């Protein structure tokens, strides 16, 4: 349906901070394509990926978790161009969704995660941790929606975002949206944006660690939270290394 697809605009809350021009150039096909993944009852799946490149990218994943299933997803957005990762999740009874995301980079690009977690049935749990490290005029965004259905009692959902801006001009946007229709649930969300701790950097210098290495260690520590739940140590190392190597372009 080439001509009938509705292109997003910034008036749409989910696209407010997006690099719409770059994503539109991908064409309406890309904007209509979702990767569908279904997890059977009790099934566990873990997926770690690195996305982003020299041209804009849009990734859309729709996860459906049956009773007691567990999906773990860890994503680093580290390319030079704008990149948007959208994840929609539906959790049946007692299912768990674990999400760790990191955006890192400079230039003018917009790197963002847009998640929507639907706690459709009771006793589902979800945990999302996103970290954004940016410089130049780049931005990192996390738009996270959590829906808790009327009878999804004992839902336990958490969302945590932290942005680290290495230069004036960079930005981070966090938009947590919680829609809760059940009354016996836990939903936690937090968002902070800050700069490198200069005292920590000086403390490192006083022990002989040069500024670039100090920055790498501090960024590594900062990003670590997003990947700590990734149990495969090699995969964790691969994602972290990619992110830290991207830091090479920072001031």
Partner 1 sequence: MLKIDNLTAEIDGKQILNGLTLEVPAGEVHAIMGPNGAGKSTLAYVLGGRPGYEVTGGSVEFRGQDLLELDPHERASAGLFLGFQYPVEIPGVSNVQFLREALNAQRKGRGEEPLSGGEFLKLAREKAGLLKLDMEMLKRQVNVGFSGGEKKRAEMVQMGILDPAFAVLDETDSGLDIDALRVVGEGINTIMRQPDKGVLLITHYQRLLEVVRPDKVSVLAKGRIVRTGGPQLAQQLEDEGYDAVMADA
Binding site for partner 1 (CB under 8 A): 197-200, 202-211, 213, 217-218, 220-222, 224-225
Tell me how far, at minimum, the Cβ of 205 lies from partner 1, in Å. Answer: 4
Phi then psi for residue 237, to 5 deg, are -60, -45
Tell me whether residue 191 or residue 209 sits nearer to partner 1 (CB atom): 209
Is the CB of 5 or the CB of 205 nearer to partner 1?
205
| CA 217 centroid distance within chain | 21
DSSP 80: S
Question: Based on CB atoms, which residue is closest to partner 1, 40 or 205?
Answer: 205
Residue closer to partner 1, measured from CB, 41 or 221: 221
In 3D space, the residue among 104, 122, 121 whose CA is nearest the CA of residue 113 turns out to be 104
- The minimum distance between CB 250 and partner 1, in angstroms, equals 18
- Smallest distance, partner 1 to C-beta of residue 236, A: 14
As to burial, measured by CB atoms within 10 angstroms (0-12 exposed, 13-18 middle, 19+ buried), residue 182 is middle
CB-based contacts of 4, cutoff 8 Å, min separation 6:
none
Cβ 213 to partner 1, closest distance in Å?
A: 6
- Cα separation of 65 and 120, whole Å? 10
Least CB distance to partner 1 at residue 151 (A) = 39
Which among 138, 133, 142, 140 is positioned nearest to 220, based on CA atoms?
Answer: 133
Count of positions (residues) in the chain: 251
- CA neighbor of 172 nearest in space, from 198, 193, 151, 158: 193
Which residue, 91 or 166, has its beta carbon nearer to partner 1?
166
Cβ 203 to partner 1 shortest distance, Å? 4
**Measured from the CB atom, is 181 or 202 closer to partner 1?**
202
């Amino acid at each position: 349906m080439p001509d009938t697809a509705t292109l997003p605009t910034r008036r749409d809350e989910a696209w407010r901070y997006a690099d719409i021009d770059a994503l539109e150039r991908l064409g309406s096909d890309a904007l209509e394509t979702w990767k569908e993944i279904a997890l059977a009852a009790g099934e566990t799946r873990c997926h770690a990926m690195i996305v982003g490149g020299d041209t804009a990218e849009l990734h859309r994943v729709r996860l459906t978790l049956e009773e007691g299933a567990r999906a773990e997803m860890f994503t680093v957005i580290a390319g030079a161009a704008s990149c948007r990762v959208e994840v929609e999740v539906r959790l049946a009874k007692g299912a768990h969704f674990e999400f760790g995301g990191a955006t890192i980079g400079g230039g003018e690009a917009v790197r963002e995660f847009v998640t929507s977690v639907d706690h459709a049935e009771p006793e589902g749990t979800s945990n999302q941790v996103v970290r954004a490290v940016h410089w130049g005029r780049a931005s990192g965004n996390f738009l996270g929606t959590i829906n808790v259905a009327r009878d999804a009692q004992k839902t336990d959902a958490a969302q945590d975002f932290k942005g680290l801006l290495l230069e004036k001009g960079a930005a981070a946007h966090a938009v947590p949206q919680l829609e809760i229709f059940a009354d016996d649930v836990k939903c936690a969300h937090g968002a902070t944006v800050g700069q490198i701790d200069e005292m920590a950097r000086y403390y490192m210098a006083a022990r002989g660690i040069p500024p670039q290495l100090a920055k790498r260690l501090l960024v590594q520590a900062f990003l670590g939270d997003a990947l700590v739940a990734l149990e495969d140590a090699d995969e964790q190392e691969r994602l972290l290394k990619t992110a830290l190597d991207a830091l090479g372009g920072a001031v």
